[in-house]
């Protein structure tokens, strides 16, 4: 699977990348919302892991724009603080699933399996 990681924290991207590469996924990284949108448009990933709190475009704005480009895009929100209200808003905007930071390897793989129909 081709997976795009959009997070302004290089550490958070590195942790997720390590988990996903063990499963032989192709990883594309973006350190900002704008870079993430560019890479989404160019690379057409199967799944996006998206941080909510970033400088410039925040995660909800990026989610909205991704859904404008491809309404069927699978976007997993990854955040240290997913409040109920934020979760509801992200769901309305088309988020596929949610992961709390710090990520747990088993949860990452379970969500991927679930959304890929496996």
Answer yes or no: pTM beyond 0.85: yes
Domain CATH for 18 = 3.40.50.2300
b or e along 8-27 (b: 16 or more beta carbons within 10 Å of the residue's beta carbon)?
A: beeebbebbbebbeeeebeb
Identify the pLDDT of residue 81: 75
Instruction: State pLDDT tens for residues 37-92.
Output: 999 999 999 999 999 999 899 999 999 999 999 999 999 999 987 788 988 999 99
C-beta of residue 5 within 8 angstroms of C-beta of residue 27: yes
Domain that holds residue 30: 2-115
* pLDDT tops 70 at residue 118: no
* pLDDT tops 90 at residue 31: yes
How many domains does the chain contain in total?
A: 1
């Amino acid at each position: 699977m081709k997976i795009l990681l959009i997070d302004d924290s290089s550490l958070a991207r590195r942790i997720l990348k390590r988990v996903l590469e063990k499963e032989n996924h192709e990883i594309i990284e973006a350190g900002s919302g704008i870079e993430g949108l560019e890479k989404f448009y160019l690379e057409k990933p199967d799944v996006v892991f998206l941080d909510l709190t970033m400088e410039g475009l925040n995660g909800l704005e990026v989610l909205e724009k991704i859904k404008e480009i491809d309404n069927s895009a699978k976007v997993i929100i990854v955040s240290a603080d997913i409040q109920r209200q934020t979760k509801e808003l992200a769901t309305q905007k088309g988020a596929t699933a949610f992961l709390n930071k710090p990520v747990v390897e088993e949860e990452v793989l379970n969500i991927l399996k679930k959304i890929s129909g496996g």
